[in-house]
Chain A
Amino acid sequence: MDSILIAMILALLIPIYEAWQDDDIWQKILAFTSIATKTSIMMLVISVSRDDWSIGVVAVIILSVGNAGLMLMAHLIKG
């Protein structure tokens, strides 16, 4: 379970790096959506590995509210 989590953290570093190095706003937003999804999946994995469902409930709520903020921001930036 630990090695799975380490692999996930490594995968998470890719969009973080991309968000830092790319100046185009859409590429940045794309990287941020990827970060958002990956972290909430990681929360669920952690909650399973620790057998602590209060973390899991938070992750499910984050997933079900979704990336509504990012959608709104995309529309605002598009103008």
Chain B
Amino acid sequence: MIDILSYGLIIVGIIFWFWGTLPLIGNRSVLFKLHSLSVADTLGSMAILVGLLLKVPSEWSLLLLAIITLAIWNTVLGYVIAYCASDNSQPANK
């Protein structure tokens, strides 16, 4: 049962990865790609890590730290890139 759940979460995470990473190739603005990347790289990776956590609960402390730091750093990096890129690409808004 737990095995199915953990593989399910990992597969959901990989689907998130593909869905959120494919728009990277298109011709959208940096900010639009950032939205889909936050689906892929933050939420998808968190789902994968929770799946791994269910698979090897004995290493919960390291995996929990990985989940927390992943969420914080990816979000902060998203904000920093949005801040730096929007200054350049949308001068009309300022």
| CB < 8 Å neighbour of A57 from B41, B56, B62, B84 | B62
Chain B interface size, as a band, is 35 or more
Q: Does the CB pair A53–B59 fall under 8 Å? A: yes
Chain A, interface residues (CB within 8 Å), range: 35 or more
Main secondary structure of the interface of A (DSSP, over half): helix
Chain B interface main SS type? helix
- Asked, given contacts A11-B14, A66-B73, A74-B81, whether A30 binds B52 with beta carbons under 8 Å apart, the answer is no
- Complex-state Cα separation, A70 to B81, whole angstroms: 9
Q: In the assembly, what is the distance between CA of A7 and CA of B40, in Å?
A: 14
Is B34 a contact partner of A34 (Cβ separation < 8 A)? no
Q: Which residues of B contact A15 (CB under 8 A)?
A: 21, 24
Q: Report which of A29, A34, A45 forms a contact with B40, defined as CB distance below 8 A.
A: A34
Interface residues of B (CB under 8 A from A): 10-11, 14, 17-18, 21-22, 24-25, 30, 33-34, 37, 40-41, 45, 48-49, 52, 55-56, 59, 62-63, 65-66, 69-70, 72-74, 76-77, 80-81, 84-85, 87-89
A–B complex contacts, Cβ < 8 Å, 16 sampled:
A7-B14, A14-B24, A14-B25, A26-B84, A26-B85, A27-B33, A34-B24, A38-B17, A53-B62, A64-B69, A66-B73, A67-B73, A67-B74, A67-B77, A71-B80, A78-B88
